[in-house]
């Protein structure tokens, strides 16, 4: 008795992990992807990171705006008593403070702006804006990953459902074989042991069906979580399997598309530019800084909020200031080296990213070509397994072979039928991996 029929069912069990898809009735793959993009918590989290990066970018722009301050204060000053100091030539005190008290309301408005700060503002704004753009590309990459995850989960559910149908059909055939074997046993053509072998194989198939069915339930549950549907919502997938278009373009075209269009590549390039902008920002401390300001001051020495004419003082002022941090001549080495290292790291990460993507594209391309070739071989194997089973079953009915040979032929046929389903799904997923590797699965 061959045991790989059970192994086939156990292998299918492992395929029922992270799944994804939408509403009741039959839901096509594109609808499942749309639901996942709308409801998936990971995508919402990525979008929130993008919003945070955009807020940080806006914050740097806000800091570059002119600074304005306004103040208004009221004070009452009480003198402790008359006070005099020294005596003049006329006999009067040189300095005297009379007893009493007075009120004062002081207000002012100041507006200031740094005109030149060694390009610090511009470089900070540029760096923050580049990081915000990179964050948007990260969100796009997450969407691409989710699209493939949903697609993989969808087709794995299809694989489980189709495999269950094949196993159930084989169980029905074994039930018929069991009835035939009992009749042949009564006629003395086969022994009771041969009947027991058929019953054992049928039980093994029922066990495989149970395992695959439980895997399907788990996959559908995880699928609802992935696309943001209620856990108990019934989901039905489209089990139609069609072959993707055969790849006609050469590998070089896919490599070019990937290295130019993948969001990871673009995000790495932006982060490199951001690191360069931060280096310029660090160097800005080595330049002199020029700022201008304008202000208005108001002094009211009475208790009235609106004083009488000529009873208050007011003045306006404009000014300019030039400052230079002398310490930048000797205390910026660490910051500059750190900023330069960050640029080098960003450059190396960008190069490494391109190498990884090229490797991913080559692997996906070859795996897709392999999947197409495997389908051809597996279709031939199914035809051969069907013919082998037909001949063996005929010999079994005539008492020329035992149930062991019949069960072996049936196992070969069942495995070949399952392989057809697996190959069709694997070809679809290989094509989707190739699209994801080139950045075109969105």
Q: What pLDDT, on the 0 to 100 scale, is given for residue 247?
A: 62
Are 259 and 355 in contact, with CB atoms under 8 Å apart? no
Are 174 and 409 in contact, with CB atoms under 8 Å apart? no
**How far is Cα 70 from Cα 59, in angstroms, rounded to an integer?**
22
Give backbone dihedrals phi and psi of 318, rounded to 5 degrees, phi first: -130, 150
Convert the chain into a string of H (helix), E (strand) and C (coil).
Answer: CCCHHHHHHHHHHCCCCCCCCCCCCEECHHHHHHHHHHHCHHHHHHHHHHHHHHHHHHHHHHHCCCEEEEEEEEEEEEECCCEEEEECCCCCEEEEECCEEEEEEEEEEEEEEEEECCCHHHHHHHHHHHHHHHHHHHHHHHHHHHHHHHHHHHHHHHHHHHHHHHHHHHHHHHHHHHHHHHHHHHCCCCCHHHHHHHHHHHHHHHHHHHHHHHHHHHHHHHHHHHHCCCCCCCCEECCCCCCCCCCCCCHHHHHHHHHHHCHHHHHHHHHHHHHHHHHHHHHHHHCCEEEEEEEEEEEECCCCCCCCCCCCEEEEEEEEEEECCHHHHCCCHHHHHHHHHHHHHHHHHHHHHHHHHHHHHHHHHHHHHHHHHHHHHHHHHHHHHHHHHHHHHHHHHCCCCCHHHHHHHHHHHHHHHHHHHHHHHHHHHHHHHHHHHHCCCC
Q: What pLDDT, on the 0 to 100 scale, is given for residue 354?
A: 92
Neighbours of 107 (CB within 10 A): 15
Please list the ranges in the chain whose pLDDT falls under 70. 1-25, 79-102, 244-248, 302-312, 442
Q: What pLDDT, on the 0 to 100 scale, is given for residue 23?
A: 42
Are 290 and 116 in contact, with CB atoms under 8 Å apart? yes
Are 153 and 219 in contact, with CB atoms under 8 Å apart? yes
Q: What pLDDT, on the 0 to 100 scale, is given for residue 401?
A: 82
- Between the alpha carbon of residue 353 and those of residues 97, 272, 312, 359, 431, the distances in Å are 78, 12, 69, 10, 22
**How far is Cα 220 from Cα 206, in angstroms, rounded to an integer?**
21
Q: What is the pLDDT of residues 130-166, one digit of tens each?
A: 999 999 999 999 999 999 999 999 999 999 998 998 8
Are 120 and 339 in contact, with CB atoms under 8 Å apart? no
Give backbone dihedrals phi and psi of 440, rounded to 5 degrees, phi first: -115, 10
Are 30 and 441 in contact, with CB atoms under 8 Å apart? no
- Between the alpha carbon of residue 8 and those of residues 15, 96, 323, the distances in Å are 11, 108, 78
Q: What pLDDT, on the 0 to 100 scale, is given for residue 342?
A: 92
Taking every pair of Cα atoms in the chain, the longest distance, rounded to a whole number of angstroms, is 154
Q: What pLDDT, on the 0 to 100 scale, is given for residue 197?
A: 83
Domains and CATH numbers, the chain: 4-438 (1.20.1600.10)
**How far is Cα 362 from Cα 353, in angstroms, rounded to an integer?**
14
């Amino acid at each position: 008795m061959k045991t790989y029929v059970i192994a086939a069912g156990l292998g299918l069990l492992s395929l029922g992990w992270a799944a994804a898809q939408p509403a009741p009735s039959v839901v096509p793959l594109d609808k499942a992807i749309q639901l996942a993009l709308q409801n998936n918590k990971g995508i919402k989290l990525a979008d929130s990171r993008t919003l945070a990066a955009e807020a940080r970018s806006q914050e740097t722009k806000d800091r570059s705006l002119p600074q304005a301050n306004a103040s208004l204060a009221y004070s009452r000053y009480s003198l402790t008593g008359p006070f005099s100091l020294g005596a003049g030539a006329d006999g009067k005190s040189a300095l005297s403070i009379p007893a009493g008290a007075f009120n004062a309301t002081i207000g002012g408005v100041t507006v200031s702006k740094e005109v030149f700060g060694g390009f610090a503002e511009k470089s900070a704004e540029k760096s923050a804006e580049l990081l915000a753009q990179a964050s948007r590309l990260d969100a796009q990459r997450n969407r691409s990953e989710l699209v493939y995850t949903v697609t993989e989960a969808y087709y794995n559910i299809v694989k489980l459902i189709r495999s269950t149908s094949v196993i159930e059909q084989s169980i029905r055939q074994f039930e018929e074989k069991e009835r035939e074997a009992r009749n042949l046993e009564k006629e003395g053509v086969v022994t009771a042991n041969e009947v027991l072998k058929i019953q054992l194989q049928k039980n093994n198939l029922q066990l495989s069906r149970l395992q695959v069915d439980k895997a399907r339930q788990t996959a559908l549950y995880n699928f609802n979580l992935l696309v943001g549907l209620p856990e108990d919502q019934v989901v039905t997938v489209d089990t139609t399997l069609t072959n993707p278009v055969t790849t006609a373009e050469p590998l070089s075209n896919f490599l070019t598309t990937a290295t130019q269009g993948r969001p990871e590549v673009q995000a790495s390039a932006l982060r490199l530019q951001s690191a360069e902008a931060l280096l310029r920002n660090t160097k800005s401390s080595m330049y002199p800084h020029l700022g201008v300001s304008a202000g208005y001051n108001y002094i009211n020495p009475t208790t009235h909020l609106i004083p009488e004419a000529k009873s208050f003082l007011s003045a306006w002022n404009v000014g300019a200031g030039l400052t230079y941090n002398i310490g930048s001549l000797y205390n910026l080495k660490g910051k500059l080296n750190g900023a330069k290292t960050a640029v080098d790291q960003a450059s190396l990460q960008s190069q490494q990213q391109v190498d990884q993507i090229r490797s991913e594209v080559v692997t996906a391309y070859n795996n897709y070509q392999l999947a197409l070739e495997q389908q051809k071989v597996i279709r031939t194997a199914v035809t051969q397994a069907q013919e082998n089973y037909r001949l063996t079953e005929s010999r079994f009915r005539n008492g020329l072979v035992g149930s062991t040979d019949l069960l072996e032929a049936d196992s070969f046929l069942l495995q070949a039928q399952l392989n057809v389903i697996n190959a069709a799904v694997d070809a679809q997923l290989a094509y989707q991996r190739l699209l994801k590797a080139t950045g075109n699965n969105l």
